[in-house]
Amino acid sequence: MKVIEHISKSNGTLFSFEIVPPPRGKTITAVTDVVETLLPHNPSWIDVTAHPAGAYYNERPDGTIERKIYKKRPGTIGICGVIQNRFRVDTVTHLLTQGFTKEETEDAMIELNFLGIHNVLALRGDGLNYNKQYDKSRSVNHYAIDLVKQINDVKNGKFLDELSQSLPLDFGVGVAGYPEKHFEAPSLKLDIQHLKDKVDAGADYIATQMFFKNDKYFEFVSLCREAGINVPIVPGIKVIKNLKQFNSVPSNFYVDFPDEFVEEAHANPNHVEEIGIRYAIKQCEELVNAKVPSLHFYVMNDAKSVAQVVKKFF
């Protein structure tokens, strides 16, 4: 079932979450263990992140440095297939413009269709110190909206090359939204205009970046509604576990923490995990009371503290 169908069939707030594929060379059990931990709370869908190839620098035994290009976390589509077929939970495959040609994206969509996966989140992604060189015969999407348009084309049976009697592929499409503004956008207003363009191009829901101040989300939703965006806006939640995250999360995701949360955690460094759980429960209570479509958790691969929060609601 598509995300938009889960939302429209539900009377209350749903539970969903996002995981990352294991690093190259590790087994899939890291991911299936997370799913098993959270399965008793009835997730409606599970997102699996996508990762382009990046440039990484390794020191050789002789002390010289080598630059290697590879995907650190391959396997997004395979993991979606495993989760959906083993656990019978719908999956949302993240698709990126960054690092993928339109031809590769079309192949990915055909593979997803064969696996029975009918949800994608259309994203631009970010460069990882590497710009893939493309053959002139290949074509690329730039912004996420270009990808939404390509997905829309295959939904109408229109492939990159004209194919006789080609059948449409069926996808529900989500896009990303940023309650605290995307870091490159010159203003929140312009960022929301670009978001509206993605929705008008065919996205049927928005998944937000994580945030820790509910006011930012509520304000964002009302600005989106004023701008004429009427699709569901699913809030992204992150449960903080350690002090380091108070620095890494703002620098990676451009989001802000409430002062009282930062102060309490720093005053009690041995109890950050329980403070993070308590704070997330409080945040979720307010969101559930506001009847948000789903509480969407950025689990990455650590499900235990998320389970502590989720068990209060689902």
Q: Is 11 helix (H, G, I), strand (E, B) or coil?
A: coil
Q: Tell whether residue 94 is a contact of ligand FAD (CB under 6 A).
A: yes
Q: Which is nearer to ligand FAD, 18 or 106 (CB)?
A: 18
Q: Which is nearer to ligand FAD, 288 or 300 (CB)?
A: 300
Helix (H) and strand (E) counts for the chain?
11, 10
Backbone angles phi, psi at 176, to 5 degrees: -90, 145
Q: Tell whether residue 176 is a contact of ligand FAD (CB under 6 A).
A: yes
Q: Tell whether residue 284 is a contact of ligand FAD (CB under 6 A).
A: no
Q: Which is nearer to ligand FAD, 125 or 276 (CB)?
A: 125
**Tokens in use for 261?**
């949360």
Q: Tell whether residue 123 is a contact of ligand FAD (CB under 6 A).
A: yes
State the binding string over 37-56 for ligand FAD (x if CB under 6 A, else -): ------------xxx-----
Please give the full DSSP string across 137-167, using - where no structure is assigned: T--B--SHHHHHHHHHHHHTT--SS--TTPP
Contact with ligand FAD (CB under 6 A): which of 118, 124, 216, 238? Answer: 124
Tell me the C-alpha distance between 242 and 268, whole Å: 11
Residues contacting ligand FAD: total by CB under 6 A: 23
Q: Which span (8-16, 107-115, 180-188, 264-272) binds ligand FAD, by CB under 6 A?
A: 180-188
Judge whether 287 and 235 are in contact, CB under 8 Å: yes
Tell me the C-alpha distance between 204 and 65, whole Å: 46
Q: Is 45 helix (H, G, I), strand (E, B) or coil?
A: strand
What distance lies between CA 104 and its chain's CA centroid? 20
Residues that bind ligand FAD in the complex, under the rule CB under 6 A: 49-51, 94, 96, 121, 123-126, 143-145, 176, 182, 184-185, 191, 194, 198, 207, 209, 236
